[in-house]
Amino acid sequence: MSLSVRKKALLAAFPHTIPVMTGYLFLGMTYGVFMRASGFPAWYPMVTSLSVFAGAMEFVTVSLLMGPFNPVQALAMALMVNARHLFYGLAMLKKYAGAGVKKLYLIFGLTDETFSVNCAADAPEGVDKHLFMFFITLLDHFYWFAGASLGGLFGSLISFSTEGIDFVMTAMFVVIFLENWLKEKNHMSSLIGLGLSALCLIVFGADGFIIPAMLAILGMLTLMRKYLERGGDAA
């Protein structure tokens, strides 16, 4: 593949990533600062932003790292928090088909934002569509890594107090929850998630409620399947 083919695809991809760039640089920096403020060295956010590349889950990882060592819970948490990716994958089965080796990286980098861009944007005429989506994914990955690294490296130079910056994670999930709430027609699943989690938190306590809550949610959604499918178009 010639250099100009690559350059053309990169130039075509870049404009589509500008909104993601703003968001990833800002959130990535906050993430790096947050990790430093939580007592971790600068290379931690670099490692997680490169290897995990799932924004929300990386914030959760900070609290996992501050709790007792529990690799099974870490795996279960990643599976549940990122379960939505299963459905991004289902939606991209056809679009990513035939991408060759690049497909492995396209799937690895399938974040919420990359999914929405790659889902919506079509490569212009004469540009290889798989290479185009590859560069969108790569640029997004780079923005996130750059933001997290900058935050991690220079976070300690910030002269004002960062006490309370951990709230950024709460705020982010409140916004994600609310945004979804505003879009969905049936709130049953949102309410099940909030209600059963709160109940499990009271019953099992802060350190052990996650897995019971996940099982309770899966069980309740399965039990209510007939009702919710009839009740129609949730989400």
Q: At what angle do helices 55-66 and 18-37 cross, to 10 degrees?
A: 0
Nearer to other proteins, 1 or 69 (CB): 69
Least distance in angstroms from the C-beta of 14 to other proteins: 20
Residues 198-217 that bind other proteins (CB under 8 A): 198, 201, 206, 209-210, 213-214, 217
Which position among 5, 11, 178, 223 is part of the footprint of other proteins (CB under 8 A)?
Answer: 178
Question: Three-state SS for 165?
Answer: coil
- In angstroms, the CA 89 to CA 95 distance is 10
Following CA atoms 222, 227, 232, 234 in sequence, which dihedral angle do they give, to the nearest 10 degrees? Answer: -50
Residues 20-49 that bind other proteins (CB under 8 A): 22-23, 26-27, 30, 44, 47-48
Residue 7 sits in the site that holds other proteins (CB under 8 A)? no
Which position among 119, 158, 203, 235 is part of the footprint of other proteins (CB under 8 A)?
Answer: 235
Residue 169 sits in the site that holds other proteins (CB under 8 A)? yes
> Interface with other proteins by CB under 8 A: which range of 2-10, 81-89, 126-134, 148-156?
81-89
- CB-based burial, 128-144: b 16+ in 10 Å, e otherwise: bbbbbbbbbbbbbbebb
